[in-house]
Amino acid sequence: MVRYVIRRLMWLVLVLLGLCAITFILSRIVPSDPAACYLGPRPRPEQVEKVRVQLGFDKPLYIQFAYYLRDLSHGDLGESLRTHRPVLQGIWEHLPASLELMIIGIFIALLVGIPLGVISAKKENTAVDHLSRLFSVANVSMPAFWLAMIFQIVFFRWLGILPIMGRIDTVVSLVSPVKEITGFYTLDTLITGNWAAFKSALSHLVLPSLSLAAYSTGLIARMTRSTMLEVLREDYITTARAIGVSEREILFVQALRNALGPTLTTAGLCFAFMLTGTFFVEIIFSWPGLGTYTTNAIFLNDYPVIMGVTILMAMFYVAVNLLVDLLLAVADPRIRLG
């Protein structure tokens, strides 16, 4: 087990090195001058020259890459060319908003997806099953940004019951400001007992997290259905039925427990995928998270930010994969890691 973890971690380092190399090379092929970028509009040539030397852009590419890796190993992702603030700090400030969205999103996906899959498997090839499968495929096929916009039209424009911009109502945040402890507004307001802000933060979360959850819901329902179908055909289920265990217990306890493995793997990957999914949802809902931070950087050609986010996200993605594998091995003694 320990050896397996070590091997996976070494693999992770290799993967990240590869990713760094790819993004680094790509970001430097483009004919944009990072030094000019650093100085803002209309810099004087001698200024540009000075900054170029100062930031090391005059050195050959492989030396620049070596410098980047050296800084990276100290946890330094460089500083933004535009704001001149450390990239890591920027990411750190924007991360909680995205994470809050993702955590609520994955909960919604699990709460809707698993029961849907179980019922679908139970009623295989009936109208209920067909409908739920149609629902799953539709969820997976929906562009998140489009779903988000439809939600805005229906729940804001037509029904007028839910807000669509930002994390909290401006008036509420002025009257009863959120004291940031964890950066998760719902949690912070709950801890401080700031009910008005809590209600506002929660209502702002509904539509973005639903849009983010749609894709994962479909995938989880789908995966649960297919594993449940397999498990329900096994002998121990027949035995359980024969000795008179109630159908509900068979479905949701006996069978589901054994079908949960692949579902949780899927959920883990979905959670990791949501990091990119938030890009689209955040744009639509003006959500001040990582997605907004990154898309702004993309349009400003702020390559240290683009690279920093890419590397951290890839790290997160690979780490979640590893964690899911390990959790499964711990939960299920039949799995041996080698």
Binding site for other proteins (CB under 8 A): 11, 14-15, 18-19, 22-23, 26-27, 29-30, 130, 133-134, 137-138, 140-143, 145-146, 149-150, 152-153, 156-157, 215, 219, 222-223, 226, 262, 266, 269, 272-273, 275-277, 279-280, 283-284, 294-295, 298-299, 303, 306-307, 310, 313-314, 317-318, 321
Q: Min. distance of Cβ 273 from other proteins in angstroms?
A: 6
Q: Min. distance of Cβ 236 from other proteins in angstroms?
A: 21
Residue 216: phi and psi, rounded to 5, are -65, -35
**Closest CB to other proteins among 151 and 185?**
151
CA distance 185 to 181: 9
Q: Which residue has the tokens 């495929």?
A: 137
Taking 3-state DSSP, the helix, strand and coil percentages for the chain, each rounded to the nearest 5, stand at: 80, 0, 20
**Closest CB to other proteins among 180 and 234?**
234
User: How many residues does the structure list for the chain?
Assistant: 338
Q: Min. distance of Cβ 201 from other proteins in angstroms?
A: 22
CA distance 212 to 101: 8
Hey, how many other C-beta atoms are within 10 angstroms of the C-beta on 278?
28
**Closest CB to other proteins among 172 and 314?**
314
Q: Min. distance of Cβ 25 from other proteins in angstroms?
A: 9
Which tokens hold the place of 191?
Answer: 């801890």
**Closest CB to other proteins among 203 and 321?**
321
Q: Is 222 buried (19+), middle (13-18) or exposed (0-12) by CB count in 10 A? A: buried
Strand partners, 79: 86
Among 311, 316, 315, CA closest to 78: 311
Q: Is 127 buried (19+), middle (13-18) or exposed (0-12) by CB count in 10 A? A: exposed
**Closest CB to other proteins among 190 and 326?**
326
Q: Min. distance of Cβ 55 from other proteins in angstroms?
A: 18
Q: Min. distance of Cβ 143 from other proteins in angstroms?
A: 5
Q: Is 30 buried (19+), middle (13-18) or exposed (0-12) by CB count in 10 A? A: exposed
Q: Min. distance of Cβ 338 from other proteins in angstroms?
A: 17
**Closest CB to other proteins among 173 and 310?**
310
**Closest CB to other proteins among 176 and 296?**
296
